[in-house]
Structure 1
Amino acid sequence: MPVYCVTGTNRGIGLEIVRQLSQSSDNTIIATTRSLSSDLTDLKAVASSSTHILECDTGDVASIRSFVKEAAQTLGGDKKIDFLLNSAGVNLASWQSSLTLGPDELHTQISINVIGPAKMVELLLDAGLLSRDVRILNMTSGLGSMQSSLGIKPRKCAGYSISKAGLNMLTVHQSEDLKQHLPGAVVICMDPGWVKTRMGGEGAVLEPHESVGGILRVLHALKPEDTGSFYLYNGEKCPW
C-alpha cells in the first residue's frame, strides 16, 4: 500500500489530490491542513477510511516539526512516505509589482512557498520517514518560470513569482542533495496550469480534476533520470 503525504488539502488542488487518491483503498494518505479548527467539511467528505488528517502550518517550522512527530506515530512500524506532494502555497497581493513589493507579503510567501517545502523534506528525511525511492513533487507555477515571465503582460504577482522561482531552485538543489541519502529519490516541480480554484481566480481555464489527473499521471510515471525537472501538469517540460 503506497503512502502519500499531501500538504494544503482543505481546498483547491490539494483537496482534489486527496479526492482522486482516496478512490483507491490501497492508498494510505496523510492530508495536512494549516489548522484543524478550519472548516474541513469538504476534506472530510472526500477522504477515505485510510486518510489521516493532520495539522501542519507550512509557514511555521515549529508546526512542521510537530507534524513530523505525529506523522511518525500515525504511520508506525516500518511504513514510510512514498509520495510527498508539497501543494500548500499562497499568492498574496497579486497587484504588487517589483517596484511596489510589500516586505511582509513577500516574506510570508517565501516562508510558505519555499521554506515550508524545504523544511518538510529536511525534517521528514531526518526522521527516517521518506522511502528510499520517494517521489517528491513541489507545486510551483508557470509564473515561477523566468523565461515565461518575460512575456507576461500586464505584469502581475511579482512576490508570488519570486517565491515560486525560489521553489524551482530549491527543487534543483533537493534533487541532487537527496541522492547521498536516498539514491532512488526523484524530486520535481510541477506547474498545475491555470486551475479554477480560489487562488486561480477569474480567467482560470482548467477544472481541478483535469489538472490533478495529469499531475498524478506524471508523478506515477517518474523515472530516476527525471529528477530535477520542471513539468506542466500534462507532462510537457516547462522552461526555467
Structure 2
Amino acid sequence: MPVYCITGTNRGLGLEFVKQLAQSSTNTIIATTHPRATDLADLHAVASPSTHILTCDVSSIPSIQSFIQEATHALNGGHLQKIDFLLNNAGVNLAPQQTSLSLGPDELHAQFAVNVLGPAKLVELLLAAGLLSPSVRILNMSSSLGSMQFSSSLRPRWCAGYAISKAALNMLTVHQSEDVRRELPGAVVVAMAPGLCKTRMGGEEAVLEPRESVGGMLRVLGGLGSEDTGLFYQWTGEKVPW
C-alpha cells in the first residue's frame, strides 16, 4: 500500500493529485493544506477513506515540525508505514508583473520561503523523523521558467521572482539527489515541470487541463529508476534542459 504525501492540496494541481490517487483504495494519501486555507470543500469531496488531510505551512519551520508529528501519528506511529512518494507541490507566484529591474524584496523573500526553503526543510525534517521509505521518490514541482535555456528564449520574459525561485529549486534538487542518497541509497529526487495548466496560477493563457498534467506526472513518477535522480522532467517524461 504506497503512501503519498502531497503539499498544497486545497486547489489546483495538488487537488488533482489527490483526486487521481484517491481513485485507488490501495493508496494512502497525506494531503496538506495551508493553515489559513478555507476552501477545502473540493478536497474533502475527492478524498478517499485513506486520505489524511493535515495542515502545513511549508514556509514555517514550526508548522512543518507540527505537521510531522501529526503525520507520524497518522502513519501508525511511523513504525508500520513510511512515505513512498513525496510531492513538494506547494508553491506561490507573487507579483508576476515584476521584472529583474523591479523585484520587490518582500515578494521575493516570500517566494523563496515557499518554493525553495519549504521543500528543503520538509525533506530534511521528514528524513530526520524516519518517515521516508528507503526507496522514496521525491518530486520537486518546478517550472519551465526555472530553466535557463527556456527562459532565455522568451520575449518578453515572465515572472522574474517566480522564475528565479524555481531555478533555485532546481539546484536544490541536484543537491538533494546526492545528500538524500547518502542516507537512503534507494532514493530518487527529481524536478518536474507540470506545463501551463488551467489553474489559478496558470492563468488565462493556460491550455493544459490539470488532469492531463497530473496523469502524466504520476506516470513519470511511477517509472523513475535509480539513474533518474537529480534530473529535470516535463510532465510528459521529456527531459528539460537546465
Which bin holds the TM-score, normalised by the shorter protein? Answer: over 0.9
| Deviations, residues 92-147 of structure 1 (Å, cap 9, x unaligned) | 00000000000000000000000000000000000000000000000000000011
| Distance in 1 of aligned mates of 2:192 and 2:157 | 22
| Distance in 1 of aligned mates of 2:90 and 2:234 | 17
Other-structure match for 1:53: 53
Deviation at 1:42, TM superposition (A): 0.4
SS class of match (1:173): helix
1:95 is aligned with what amino acid? Q
Does the alignment pair 1:40 with 2:23? Answer: no
Deviation at 1:154, TM superposition (A): 1.4
Other-structure match for 1:111: 113
1:184 is aligned with what amino acid? G
Other-structure match for 1:229: 231
1:62-211 equivalences in 2 (<5 Å): 62-76=62-76, 77-211=79-213
CA contact (8 A) 1:137 1:188 kept: yes
- After TM superposition, where is structure 1 displaced by more than 3 Å over at least 4 residues in a row? none
CA contact (8 A) 2:97 2:158 kept: yes
Deviation at 1:17, TM superposition (A): 0.3
1:11 is aligned with what amino acid? R
CA contact (8 A) 2:10 2:37 kept: no
SS class of match (1:63): helix
Other-structure match for 2:31: 31
| Distance in 1 of aligned mates of 2:36 and 2:72 | 18
Gaps of 5+ in 1: none
SS class of match (1:83): strand
CA contact (8 A) 1:36 1:54 kept: no
Other-structure match for 1:17: 17
SS class of match (1:188): strand
Deviation at 1:37, TM superposition (A): 5.4
- For the aligned residue pairs, the C-alpha RMSD in angstroms reads 0.8
| Distance in 2 of aligned mates of 1:37 and 1:225 | 38
| Distance in 2 of aligned mates of 1:96 and 1:134 | 37
Deviation at 1:78, TM superposition (A): 2.0
| Distance in 2 of aligned mates of 1:145 and 1:2 | 31
| Distance in 2 of aligned mates of 1:158 and 1:68 | 32
Moved more, 226-235 or 33-42: 33-42
| Distance in 1 of aligned mates of 2:104 and 2:190 | 29
| Distance in 2 of aligned mates of 1:229 and 1:220 | 15
CA contact (8 A) 1:32 1:55 kept: yes
Deviation at 1:36, TM superposition (A): 6.4
1:197 is aligned with what amino acid? T
Deviation at 1:38, TM superposition (A): 1.5
| Distance in 1 of aligned mates of 2:200 and 2:60 | 23
1:204 is aligned with what amino acid? A
Deviation at 1:48, TM superposition (A): 0.4
1:160 is aligned with what amino acid? Y
SS class of match (2:186): coil
